[in-house]
Structure 1
Amino acid sequence: MDYLIRNATNADAPAISRTILNALRESNVQDYSAEIIEQVAQSFSPPAILHLLSERQVLVATACSHIVATASLDNDIVRSMFVDPRYQGKGVGRRLMEKLQSLAINAGLNQLRVPSSITAEGFYASLGFEKVRDEFHGAERTVIMAKALKL
């Protein structure tokens, strides 16, 4: 399938929110309790997405003009990387990460870091990220990973 990757706009906030919430509630639920999922979900309402759009470089991937994935770059940290469950395993996440890596290299960064969910740890490892450490926010475990960039 052909995906268009572009910068997100304010008008995309509701669709970005839906994509993230679908991924959290269908994919991440296998590794996190319902309580943690709902706690994380509160950070991705449409108004919260609008705020993130003003602070980070947010990308979306579309298929047939529908947003199917999103990711953002916050300095050298990849944040809010989510793929709609119906599109997982079809290369869209990899394409988004390649675009973020290209943006990071063009910005002169020599490393990317990602606070990964347990669910996505294998995905990031397949892209060359290595586990640095675990962090805990209450009961929520996040895997901190990093990858050196070739300039």
Structure 2
Amino acid sequence: MDCLIRTATSEDAAAISQVIIGALRDTNAQDYTPAVIEQVAQNFSPQAILRLLTQRRVYVATIDHHIVATASLDHDVVRSVFVDPTQQGKGIGRRLVAMIQSSALSGGVSLLRVPSSITAEGFYASLGFRKVRDEFHGAERTIIMELKLGK
């Protein structure tokens, strides 16, 4: 079971939506209320993913041609890093963020930011991101983190 990372296409929208909503409802539900989870999940319908594909560089990780994770780069901001709960802890998210970092560097970005969920704060910290501040969007707490790229 080798993991392949590639650029997402419009044909991937439904599978990306499924991975994100599954991770929100399983993993992120440990740190957020059901109301917050459902509010965030509304932003990741297949139609919403199709719009994001036109606005960001979106990547997917596949195993046996099945999408198991996604991440995107919006200028200098890492967004929507989600891994299927059955595949978490296997380094797939780490590989996706490495792809994002490489893409950002080649695009001239020297400082990456990420609006992290409470759930993912430790993951990003393990990759060298440092906490800058907390932001609140209603009941949803987001941790803004940064990583300097290059030397």
TM bracket (short chain): over 0.9
Q: 1:147 — aligned with what? A: 147
Which residue does the alignment assign to 1:101? 101
Correspondence for 1:23:
23
Shift of 1:17: 0.2
- TM-score in terms of structure 2 length: 0.99
What is the Cα-based RMSD across aligned positions, in Å? 0.7
CA distance in 2: counterparts of 1:22 and 1:139, whole angstroms: 21
Find the residue that maps to 2:58 and give its secondary structure: strand
**1:119 matched to which residue of 2?**
119
CA distance in 2, matches of 1:148, 1:97: 14
- Aligned partner of 2:69 in structure 1 is 69
1:39 and 1:108 map into 2 onto residues whose CA distance is 34
Q: Which residue of 1 aligns with 2:91?
A: 91
The one-letter code of the counterpart of 1:32 is Y
- Number of positions where the alignment pairs a residue of Structure 1 with one of Structure 2: 151
Structure 1: give runs of 5+ residues left out of the alignment.
none
- The alpha-carbon deviation at position 47 of structure 1 amounts to 0.2
Structure 1 equivalent of residue 12 of structure 2: 12
Identity rate of aligned residues, in percent? Answer: 67
Name the counterpart of 2:32. Answer: 32
Give 5+ residue unaligned stretches, structure 2: none
By how many angstroms is 1:56 displaced?
Answer: 0.4
In structure 2, what is the Cα distance between the partners aligned to 1:125 and 1:22? Answer: 23
Give the residue type in structure 1 aligned to 2:64: C
Deviation of 1:2 after TM superposition, in Å, equals 2.0
Runs of 4+ displaced beyond 2 Å = none
Distance 1:108 1:35 in 2: 38
| 1:96 partner SS | helix
* 1:39-50 correspondence to structure 2 within 5 Å: 39-50=39-50
Q: Distance in 1 between matches of 2:68 and 2:96?
A: 11
Cα distance in 2 for residues equivalent to 1:103 and 1:52: 17
Query: What's the counterpart of residue 60 of structure 1?
Result: 60
Question: TM (normalized to structure 1)?
Answer: 0.99
CA positional deviation for 1:36:
0.2
